[in-house]
Amino acid sequence: MNIKRIAVLTSGGDAPGMNACVRAVVRAGAYYDLEVWGVYNGYDGLVNDEFEKFDSRSVSYILSQGGTMLYTARSNAFRTVEGRQQAFENCKKHQIDGLVTIGGDGTFTGATIFSEEHNLPVVGVPATIDNDIYGSDYTIGYDTAVNTAIDALDKIRDTATSHNRLFLVEVMGRNAGFIALRSGIGSGAKAILIPEKSFSDGELFSLLRKGINENKKSNIIIVAEGNPNGSPYEIAERIKEKFTQFDIRVSILGHIQRGGKPTAYDRMLASRLGVAAVEALLDGQQGVMVGVKEKKINIVSLKDAIENKPEIDEDLLRVANILSF
């Protein structure tokens, strides 16, 4: 198919660097003499016909901004056959020859079904703070989220040390421990509880006991969302039963991890992947995701991207264990 007009949307949870990626798609489109249309509100915008023709100036001054200027949604309408049919009709109406979808695994699930049902090339770009996408070493937004978490953890450390307290800090990640592992190592956490690796109460208690014996001033335990040990409040109760001397606090970092200016790394990644997505469409690729593997652009099928899970870095786990001993 001869690609002349493409559309771009962001979907799922926002991630820092999404804007940089939208900009890269629009500017790469202009470079290759394509018409680029922005679609607002994720897949809802495809269904509800929220298209706008963009040019290079439409994406001025967004490279450094968090969030997404296209807005985002987790669309219910697009989960239905009728919704996707309507979305396709709207793409036909605007003579769209290819679609770039920027988001996480929910976004790619929608993209896969859409590209199977309708003859429209779709290329996905991985953007989620969770870093839980197979086929890319990094997803857009992850590096920024880790830096945000570390910054918050450094601040919590000040109070933990000053008051001789134990903090349980919940970080995001849904069912993946990538943010937890890196922010835990980066902030000197005593323990890191993640979904991918079991960490028994017994192991946790013996680490804490060792700290008490060594007169340790503060303890930070990172609790990833989706970890099997339970919520930080539940874990706090079990610790308190065993060690009455601890003054324990719980802190949920929450959505501050999703916002803010993208780091240099995320801006580079988003820019590269935006250009790569346009080039993949021009190359005749469809139903694929563009990611990075060992610093090189890596293209996998959207199906592979959603059906496989990226593995946690065992060596980082080893480093975390050594340093929290």
Interface with ligand F6P (CB under 6 A):
13, 104, 128-130, 172-174, 225, 258
Nearest to ligand F6P of 73, 77 (CB atom): 73
**C-alpha closest to that of 256 among 71, 70, 16, 76:** 16
Q: How far is the CB of 130 from ligand F6P (least distance, A)?
A: 5
Report strand pairing: 35-39 vs 51-54.
antiparallel
Nearest to ligand F6P of 225, 266 (CB atom): 225
Q: How far is the CB of 208 from ligand F6P (least distance, A)?
A: 27
* Intra-chain end-to-end CA distance of the chain, in Å: 58
| Greatest distance between any 2 Cα atoms in the chain | 71
- The answer to whether 130 is a known catalytic residue is yes
Residue nearest ligand F6P (C-beta atom): 172
Other beta carbons within 10 angstroms of residue 155's beta carbon come to: 12
Q: How far is the CB of 291 from ligand F6P (least distance, A)?
A: 17
**C-alpha closest to that of 153 among 143, 161, 164:** 161
Task: At 234, list the tokens.
Answer: 């539940």
Cβ neighbours of residue 172 under 8 Å, at least 6 residues apart?
129, 130, 145, 179, 225, 253, 254, 255, 257, 258
Q: How far is the CB of 254 from ligand F6P (least distance, A)?
A: 9
* Cα-based distances in Å from 122 to 28, 71, 75, 115, 309: 16, 19, 17, 6, 21
Q: How far is the CB of 243 from ligand F6P (least distance, A)?
A: 30
Asked if residue 99 lies in contact with residue 263, where contact means CB atoms within 8 angstroms, the answer is no
Report strand pairing: 122-126 vs 288-293.
parallel
Q: How far is the CB of 138 from ligand F6P (least distance, A)?
A: 15
| Radius of gyration in angstroms for the set of CA atoms belonging to the chain, rounded to a whole number | 22
- What single-letter DSSP state applies at residue 95? T
Nearest to ligand F6P of 68, 324 (CB atom): 68
Nearest to ligand F6P of 104, 124 (CB atom): 104
Nearest to ligand F6P of 174, 240 (CB atom): 174
| Catalytic hit among 44, 105, 130, 132 | 130
Nearest to ligand F6P of 106, 121 (CB atom): 106
SS3 206: helix
Catalytic residues: 130
